[in-house]
Structure 1
Amino acid sequence: MLRFAGFELDQQRAELSGADGTPIKLRPKTLEMLRLFATSGGRVLSKQELMEAVWPNVHVGEDSLFQCIRELRTALGDERRQLIKLASAGGYLLAAEVVAAPEVAAQVEVPRSAPTGEVAAMPQHASVGLRRRAMVAAVAGLCVIVVGLAVAAPVLKPDLLFRRTPPRLAVMPIVDASNDSRGTAMAAEVTGRLTDGFAKIQNISVVAPRLAAVAGGDSTAAPATSSDYELRGELQLSDQSWTLRARIIKAGSGEVQSVVAASVNADAMDAQLAQSRLAAGVGHVLARRLNEILGPSASSSARRTSSTGGDKVAVEQALASINQTTRERFGAAQAMLQKALTDDPDNLDIAVALSSLQMRGIQMVWFSPEEAVTVEAKANATLEQALRSKPNSIPVLEAYCRFLSATNHFVESLVTCARALSFDPWNGSALYLIGLGQIFLGRFDDALATFQQADRYDTPPASRWTWLLGAGMANLFMGRDEEALPWLQRSIAVTPATGRSHLLLAAAYQRSGRFEEARAAIAEGLRLRPGTTRLSVGPPMKNVSPVCIAAWERIVQAEVDAGLPEQ
């Protein structure tokens, strides 16, 4: 048992608890990283050392390390990064005294009639007899437990008696069908990135394919033994575009579960970015499909939790409206979902999609204060019910993450979004919400890195404007106005009707000395958001870091200088 900064880390039970004894949930990899910190004696651990210890024999990128660090800081309430510190050489250390709790000696109960000293003086044959009787008693107790489980088995669910082995996914080497000298290396790198990504998913295990010898002494990949699913794909090059086609196959039957294709321009970006986007483009879709396959199925007597047919179309269109936000699209999507929910009031997927959409409406200030209170309460009830029913569902976790962000519960939002990423590591929407929470907590550097990671993945593309806007915001909050401009401009090019983006662009122009462009941006922002003033331009400041509030006030002053009305 290791104790530090009011926390207890039980190494035997692999459990972290707070000062009040309440267990704190952590992913196994994150918990292992905390154990390394706690047992390092205050030593700085390099990034490479951490990655090799936490992910032995698996090649992972630094984003996996950063996610664990973020989760640790969140779990430890370390928003100011005073516990898990970044060292000047680039590694990390736990800046707290760690004390090993003394072991409690096992006590032997002695019969009251015998003096204490008689036990030690007992003849050897007598102590052997005691051990035999203790062994007989232990075996008898074990038999009682086994019989009890046998009796209970027909009544209890199997998951309560035995932990199920996670489904196994074999990531097969991507086949190079490009007829290009770069194809072999590109296919191998994409295979590695897909393997790394799926290895991060919480409820599956990734197995390597077996290598089978073929004529000529070469080797070819064969499916891993006892895998439940296989990921197979081909990489092609045509019209100066790399295209990756991939599918998930059920190993036992050969049934194709999902097919997806992703393309990138071969000349418009460097090879590493192309590899990242190809892997993310197919990985994002296939991870969500696996999440659906492995989710709980609703029984005939249970409340319906899945959408089919027209309901599914309504949900998909509404989700597109969340990402490509305009007030008109928002209103149309809300009306469509409300009608679908009226027709099928027990459909939890539709209710979750409506709640997620309405949270976007709250963030964009498209509800009156009175409406927002009602919408928030109803969304909270819907999402809590959905989490009880489908705790591992990516759409439910995304919706709840958006709810927590919209209601200024930023720390809780970081935890929930990280959980969504543990089922879809390429989830750009979750990364955006994490970055937004980091901005409001005053962690601008972390936020920029998170938004840049989302941009490297670029999935789903419909959400692209959000992390582009986020990267512009992060630079703006750090006073890097020139660096903020291209991010904000790219965001507006994708989604020009938000208004808030134009107002932030005006601040960047104003502080860069481009005053005419600043005034034009303010005018466009006010056209899209009429009635906006200094008093109403900002988001609610509950739970916002003083560092963020001070930076925000400087941005608003620049907007006022560019022409934003005071009141």
Structure 2
Amino acid sequence: MRDPQGRETVLRPTSARVLKKLFEAVDQTVTKEDLLAAGWPELTVTDNSLQQCIHEIRVGLGDDGARIVRTVPRRGYRLIPPVERVQLPPPRGDRRVALSLSAVFVIVLILGVLAVSKVILSAGSATPQDRSVSVLPFDNLGGDQRWSLIAEGLTQDTVADLAKSDFIRVSAGVPDASEPRRDFELQGSLQYDGNIVRVRSWLTRTENEEIVWSHRWSGPAENIFALQDAVVDGVSAALTSPWSGAIAADDLRLARARDTDNFEAYELYLLGAYHKHRFTPDDYRIAEGYLRRATALDPSYAKAFSTLAVVYALMGSTLSDPEALSQVQEKRVVAIEQAARLAPDDPQTLVQMNWLYGYRGDFEAADNVLRRAVDLAPNNADVLAEAGWIGNWRSVVGPDSVAWVERAKELNTTWPDWYAVGAGLSRFNMGDYAAAVEALTEAPDFIERYLYTASAQALLGDMEAAQRASDRLLEIAPHFRLETYLMARVIVQDEVRGPLVEGARLAGVPF
């Protein structure tokens, strides 16, 4: 669909829902509260999110002067067609209808926008990079009708939970012949055996019928609802984690086997995420290249921008020159702002906003967006682990961040080693230095592992272990300086900065 200037009009799901609400009450004021409820039926968001939707709608309608979607101060918004009127043939009866030709155009345009957005509305926030999944009914292997009902409920809950993701498109059942084949099929089975319920689920790539992920759960029959929750959460985490989930991992495996000159934006994004997690300066540069190419192919790819921001964060942590750090931070700010403009409610973007708010000195806002990210993505293991990591630069998040990382590890049973960084930093900031050291033993061979280990061991009084960690830190990053690291991470609050600096100095880390 194109607007009067010929521009393509495709709305995000939230904006399409807000437009639909306005269209249902043409020429009437719709309150902010009603529009917020229509756009975000299960969430609590600020007026700023609504304002961004209204802006997107106006752009889509070519409404540069806000003449069609009008602001009603302190109340809401009103959809008003233009007032130039012509007489149309009367309908049955004596009534005559006066309608604006431009109003007809606006209504047709709105209907077209809503039609274009129908797929998006039914599937979260579908994009060309999404992977589609059919969820087939879970089989009851025991034959007892009671357990058939449990299996049916498990299927429905799984579909509902997966549908919340903006990473995959979900449908229930096998598509009929007229529908496109889905990329993956999720299947499952339930069996009752001697008061123990066993559930298995597996994901198959439909192209070659290869099983790319499977998992088993079991528990006593009297705890069936807790078991159901565990299954739904586990499936959701395995499929929807965009960096380390089963679908992302399988797509990466296929992407790496192809000609790099022909990669699509999604494949470039996956390769960028892969090199990001290798935690070396060379890999950061490779990741930056892949992600910049991804964003060039698709300038609306929010996740590529937010992942690029993470790459710049990792680059900055290895620098010792404040001027070079400033240049990298400027790139990071631009990447975060672009991600936030494209997807202001994306949890991965919100985690990056935590750093940006801290960088600008607004630590209350930093904490708020971090917690909002976790609230929006309780089953996204990557988001939970990243929140535990990044959040502990800004403040002592406390037991909450420990719980986030532990839940991430429970959800993603093959969790990558970078999850352990957040686990270590959470415990360090709580003053549990022994637990921090233990957690960091599973972290990648990366500067933060050895910086926090050195500081923790020094604060515990084990100077020999502290020195070993400090030596390894300088082997990895010979020009490392604590002062530049603190600037890069925006670690300025005394309760976070003080113990880290004290322990690092005792361990001989260059300041």
The verdict on a shared fold, with TM-score over 0.5 as the criterion, is: yes
Q: Which residue of structure 1 lines up, in the alignment, with residue 313 of structure 2?
A: 360
Amino acid paired to 1:282: L
- Provide Cα deviations, 1:81-105, integer angstroms capped at 9, x if missing partner: xxxxxxxxxxxxxxxxxxxxxxxxx
Quote the Cα distance in structure 2 between the aligned partners of 1:507 and 1:184.
55
TM-score by length of 2: 0.56
2:417 to 452, 462, 465: 465
1:317, distance to aligned residue in structure 2 (A): 1.7
- Report matched runs for 1:21-36 at 5 Å: 27-31=40-44
Is 1:175 the counterpart of 2:139? The answer is: yes
Residue matched to 2:273: 319
Question: Which residue in 1 is equivalent to 2:438?
Answer: 486
1:141 Cα deviation from its structure 2 partner: 12
Q: CA deviation at 1:372?
A: 3.7
* TM-score of the pair, normalised by structure 1: 0.52
Name the Cα RMSD after superposition.
Answer: 5.7
Give the letter for the 2:213 counterpart.
A
Aligned residues of 2:203 and 2:211 also touching (Cα < 8 A): yes
CA deviation after TM superposition for structure 1 residue 554, in Å: 1.6
Is contact 2:385–2:419 with CA below 8 Å preserved after alignment?
Answer: yes
Question: Residue 324 and residue 175 in structure 1: after superposition, are their counterparts in 2 closer, same or farther (change >3 A)?
Answer: farther
Please state how far the C-alpha of 1:473 moved relative to its aligned partner: 0.9
Contact 1:261–1:282 (Cα < 8 Å) also in 2: no
How far apart, CA to CA, are the structure 2 residues paired with 1:142 and 1:478? 74
> In the alignment, is residue 559 of structure 1 matched against residue 504 of structure 2?
yes
Is the 2:271–2:290 contact (alpha carbons within 8 Å) kept by the matching residues of 1?
A: no
Q: Identity, % of aligned pairs? A: 15
Amino acid at match of 2:504: E
Which residue does the alignment assign to 1:370? 323
Q: What is the CA–CA distance in structure 2 between the aligned matches of 1:186 and 1:539, rounded to whole Å?
A: 53
Report what 2:33 is aligned to. Answer: 15
1:310-367 deviations in whole A, cap 9, x for unaligned?
Answer: 66544322211122312232234345666x58xx955535973883364233442348
Match for 1:329 among 260, 283, 286? 283
Which residue number in structure 1 is paired with residue 213 of structure 2?
262
Out of 194, 208, 211, which is 2:158 matched to?
A: 194
Code of the aligned partner of 1:152: V
The 3 A distance-change label for structure 1 pair 347 and 552 is same
- For residue 475 of structure 1, report the CA deviation from its aligned partner: 1.1
CA, structure 1 residues 242+326, in 2 after alignment: closer, same or farther (shift >3 Å)? Answer: farther
Q: Hey, what's the Cα distance between the residues in 1 that align with 2:356 and 2:37? A: 24
Residue of structure 1 in register with 2:403 after alignment: 449
Does residue 434 of the first structure (1) align with residue 387 of the second (2)? yes
Q: Tell me how far 1:504 sits from its aligned partner.
A: 0.8
Greater Cα shift, 515-524 or 370-379? 370-379
Residue of structure 1 equivalent to 2:203: 246
CA distance in 2, matches of 1:264, 1:384: 38
User: Does residue 474 of the first structure (1) align with residue 426 of the second (2)?
Assistant: yes
Over 3 Å counting, the alpha-carbon distance change for 1:371 and 1:204 in structure 2 is closer
The answer to whether the 8 Å contact 1:428/1:457 transfers is yes
Contact 1:190 1:279 in 2 (8 A): no
Read off the aligned partner of 1:448 and give its amino acid letter: V
Judging changes above 3 Å, is the alpha-carbon distance between structure 1 residues 336 and 543 closer, same or farther for their aligned structure 2 residues? Answer: closer
Alignment of 1:385-404 (within 5 A): 390-391=342-343, 398=348, 401-402=351-352
Q: CA deviation at 1:425?
A: 5.3
**Counterparts in 2 of 1:386 and 1:177: CA distance versus 1, 3 Å:** same
1:523 correspondence with 2:471: yes
Residues 359 and 402, structure 1, Cα contact 8 Å, conserved in 2: no
Report deviation, 1:446: 2.3
The SS at the match of 2:509 is: coil
Question: What secondary structure sits across from 1:29 in the alignment?
Answer: coil
Pairing partner for 1:408 from 358, 362, 383: 358
Any residues of structure 2 matched to 1:228-247 within 5 Å, and which? 232-234=186-188, 244-246=201-203
SS of the aligned residue for 2:187 comes to strand
Partner of residue 152, structure 1: 106
State the alpha-carbon separation in 2 of the partners of residues 454 and 142 from structure 1: 63
- Partner Cα separation in structure 1 for residue 99 and residue 491 of structure 2: 50
| Structure 1 portions without partners, runs of 5+ | 1-11, 18-22, 32-70, 76-139, 210-221, 249-254, 292-306
| Distance in 2 of aligned mates of 1:368 and 1:184 | 64
Across the two proteins, how many residue pairs are aligned to each other?
A: 390
Structure 1 pair 371–288 and aligned structure 2 pair: CA distance change class (3 A): same
In the TM superposition, residue 564 of structure 1 has moved relative to its aligned partner by 2.6
The question of whether the paired residues in 2 share the 8 Å contact of 1:398 and 1:420 is answered with: no
The structural deviation recorded for 1:467 is: 2.9
Question: Are residues 154 and 467 of structure 1, via their aligned partners in 2, closer, same or farther at CA, if it must alter by over 3 Å?
Answer: same
Whole-angstrom distance in 1 between the partners of 2:304 and 2:242: 22
For the Cα contact (< 8 Å) 1:171–1:195, is it kept in 2? yes
For residues 167-194 of structure 1, the C-alpha deviation after alignment (integer angstroms, 9 at most, x for no partner) is 1698554336799xxx999978974763
- Provide the rounded CA distance (Å) in 2 between the counterparts of 1:351 and 1:201: 16
Secondary structure at the residue paired with 1:371? helix
Which SS does the other structure have where 1:28 is aligned? coil
Residue pairs, 1:285-300, within 5 angstroms: none
Is the alpha carbon distance of 1:275 and 1:351 closer, same or farther for their aligned partners in structure 2, counting shifts above 3 Å?
closer
**C-alpha distance in 2, partners of 1:286/1:436?**
15
Cα 1:202–1:279 change in 2 (3 A) is: closer
From 492, 495, 511, the counterpart of 1:550 = 495
> Could you list the per-position Cα deviations for residues 492-532 of structure 1 after superposition, in whole angstroms to 9, with x for gaps in the alignment?
xxx11x12211211233333343332222222122222243
Kindly indicate whether the alpha-carbon contact (under 8 Å) linking 1:428 and 1:460 is maintained by their aligned counterparts in 2: no
Q: 1:199 to 1:385 in 2, by over 3 A?
A: closer
CA distance in 2, matches of 1:504, 1:142: 78
2:252 equivalent in structure 1: none
In structure 2, what is the Cα distance between the partners aligned to 1:308 and 1:414?
41
Contact preservation (8 Å) 1:186, 1:275: no
Deviation at 1:477, TM superposition (A): 0.8
Give per-residue Cα distances to partners, 1:266-294, cap 9 Å, x unaligned: 79xx9787874444213446999999xxx
**Alpha-carbon spacing, 1:207–1:144, altered in 2? closer, same or farther (3 Å):** farther
